[in-house]
Amino acid sequence: MKKVSAIAAMFVVVAVTTVFMAEPGQAAITCSQVDMALRPCLEYLRGTVTQPPTECCSGVATIKQDTPTKADRQIACQCVKRAADALTGLNEDAAKNLPTKCEIQINVPISKNVDCNK
């Protein structure tokens, strides 16, 4: 019984320490969130439609809102790069022009070849 409560107490200490040691703004967005935000853009990104749907542009706006710091944008960039690489039939021009088409200035390029460290 003592062993179980000691393990539980240690787990709580580790969890609390992790929360307080996390840097503000760290991991403001996850790859799952990026994927969900860009899911409505798939037809546009594949070039089957010429204009991104409103839901797509809302997703782009969400990514912009959820990436206020350079570190956040780099995380999102890695997620976008991974998603772009996995997407079959990606039209690179459509991907590059997505923020412009949505009339949103975003510092997370959508491309397979972007350097996310910049």
We report the CATH number of the domain holding residue 55 as 1.10.110.10
DSSP H or E stretch at residue 13: helix 2-21
Q: Is residue 35 part of a domain?
A: yes
35's CB contacts (< 8 A; 6+ apart) are 79, 83
Q: Is residue 11 part of a domain?
A: no
Q: Is residue 40 part of a domain?
A: yes
Q: Is residue 118 part of a domain?
A: no
Q: Is residue 17 part of a domain?
A: no
- Percent of the chain's residues with pLDDT above 90: 58
Confidence of residue 110 (pLDDT cuts 50, 70, 90): confident
Q: Is residue 7 part of a domain?
A: no
pLDDT tens figures, 13-70: 333 333 333 345 455 799 999 999 999 999 999 999 999 999 999 999 999 999 999 9
CA atoms within 13 A of residue 35's CA, in its CB half-sphere = 9
* Cα 100 from Cα 89, distance rounded (Å): 21
Question: What's the confidence (pLDDT) of residue 26?
Answer: 52
Closest to 114 in 3D by CA, of 73, 69, 59, 64: 73
Q: How many structural domains compose the chain?
A: 1
Is pLDDT of 102 > 90? Answer: yes
To which residue do tokens 């990514």 refer?
63
87 or 22, greater pLDDT: 87
* Cα 113 from Cα 30, distance rounded (Å): 20
Q: Which residue range(s) make up the domain with 51?
A: 27-101
Question: What's the confidence (pLDDT) of residue 15?
Answer: 32
